[in-house]
Amino acid sequence: MVAAGQALIIAGNRFAAMPVNQDPAPPWAVQMQESMQEMLQGQQQMQQTTTPFVVAAARAYNATLPAGNTPYLALPTAAGVVPANMPVNGNGLQALNGAAINIALQAYGLPTVGLVAERKNRFARHWGITNLEF
């Protein structure tokens, strides 16, 4: 077993010492790289375009939900991502402490001033939640 491990190390070292091809990339590889960059830019532009619609739809949906265990539709941030550890329903929002609600508010760029109840209300209104009052 030890001999096999040593043989692998020696082979790996020999492979690492091999000269690296410094020739320019072939045209097809350059074209593929450029196409991938264009696709990524298109995807980012599409995400920026659709995020406001996703936010509006999530707020409208959240406004219709009863308080309690019914799951909310999480809002993406301006960057188009949903932050981790957001409350999933009214009970989860009610259970947040001061530090947790601050993290949630900061994720959306909202102020963290005021009493915990005020901050929870600020978060709820941002998410379109209208049936909870703290």
Per-residue confidence (pLDDT) for residue 36, from 0 to 100: 86
Q: What is the C-alpha to C-alpha distance for residues 112 and 98, in angstroms, rounded to an integer? A: 9
Residue 14 has pLDDT above 80, yes or no: no
Amino acid at 22: Q
**Report field, pTM of the whole predicted structure over 0.75:** no
Q: What is the pLDDT of residues 45-57, one digit of tens each?
A: 777 777 889 899 9
* Structural domain spans, the chain: 51-134
Does an H or E element contain 132, and which? Answer: none
| CA angle (94, 90, 130) in 5-degree steps | 105
Note the pLDDT tens digit of each residue in 61-107: 999 988 888 999 999 988 888 999 999 999 999 999 999 999 999 99
Residue 103 contacts residue 111 (beta carbons within 8 Å) = no
- High-pLDDT (> 90) share of the chain, %: 48
